Copies of this chain bind each other. A is one copy, B any other.
């Protein structure tokens, strides 16, 4: 079964995606690309691109990133190129390997019995 979902997003998430949407649209127009063209290149429908540029939170993250990449909007801090992003991935893997595998909660020592 599936609980009927009316998801609530934090203000920060909403605005982050709004910014991303605006950046995408700007970049697209600056490069004189039509919605149809970008959609084709990204392998999505024009309606989908419309939703992305309207900051629809429900779009697939892959589609959004793909479009961003196509119009040249960089996604993370230092990840401008494939090379740098790969380095960062490796760093993150190293880091992950040093961390514990699971996140056990600190046991509440119960002394609230009086």
Interface set of A (CB-CB < 8 Å, partner B):
7-13, 15-20, 22-23, 25-26, 28-35, 43-44, 57-66, 69-70, 74-77, 79, 82, 85-86, 88-89, 92-93, 95-96, 99-106
Contacts and interface: CB of A to CB of B under 8 A. Distances in A.
A103 B28 contact: yes
Q: What is the copy number of this chain in the assembly?
A: 2
Which DSSP category, helix, strand, loop or mixed, fits chain A's interface? Answer: helix
Nearest to A35: B103
A96 B10 contact: no
Nearest to A89: B19
B59 A60 contact: yes
Contacts of A86: 15
Contacts of A11: 82
A44 B66 CA distance: 24
A71 B27 CA distance: 30
